[in-house]
Amino acid sequence: MLVNNAGIAIVRGVDDLTEEDFDRTITVNLKSAFLCTQAVLPMMRTRKWVRIVNISSGAARGAGSIGPHYNASKAAMEGLTRGYAARLVKEGITVNAVAPSLIETDMMKGQSGLVSRIPIGRFGTAEEVAQAVMLLVNNPYMTGQTIAMSGGMAFN
């Protein structure tokens, strides 16, 4: 299995966002998943039972507070997921995504005020994200889907 989980969050206002910020965000958040997937595809094709899970974000479908560059990188990640899923399913390769929002990580340190936005009343945990990834890894019928993890902030 391959889990594409590389990501950065350069927080910028619209007027402060630079081309360099945009390019770096797209490179780390999206291009890295493309490069890793392309690198392992030849080996994956020989196995006939392979799972790829891409880590997206609730920001792919919402405004978020990081910036439009981040939103775009995560929305494109979900497009990449569906594109690979459609083309690889007949080779035994499923491709899905998990889109967490407000997960208790280093990125959320000092952001405890955001908990009030989450109906479930707390940040999600890395373990809960890992459980969603494993759900996709263990399900051979699901492909091209995104599991949103928002604690009730948004529904698909």
Question: Is pLDDT of 139 > 80?
Answer: yes
- Burial status of residue 21 (CB atoms within 10 A of its CB: 0-12, 13-18, 19 or more): middle
As a CATH number, domain 2-149 is 3.40.50.720
Q: Average the pLDDT over 131-153 and give the result.
A: 94
Q: What are phi and psi of 53, to 5 degrees?
A: -125, 125
Q: Which long-range contacts (CB under 8 A, 24 or more apart) does 129-138 make?
A: 129/55, 129/98, 129/100, 129/103, 132/98, 132/100, 133/3, 133/53, 133/55, 133/98, 136/51, 136/53, 136/94, 136/96, 136/98, 137/1, 137/51, 137/53
Residue 124 tokens, joined: 């999600």
pLDDT digits (tens, 9 = 90+) for 89-102: 999 999 999 999 88
What type of residue sits at position 140?
P
Question: Is pLDDT of 109 > 90?
Answer: no
Question: Is pLDDT of 155 > 90?
Answer: no
Give the model's pLDDT for residue 108. 67
Percent of the chain with pLDDT over 90: 71
**Catalytic positions:** 70
Domain boundaries defined on the chain: 2-149
Which residues, at least 6 apart from 67, have a Cβ–Cβ distance to it below 8 Å?
A: 10, 11, 12, 13, 14, 17, 21
Confidence band, pLDDT 50/70/90 cuts, at residue 65: confident
Confidence band, pLDDT 50/70/90 cuts, at residue 128: very high
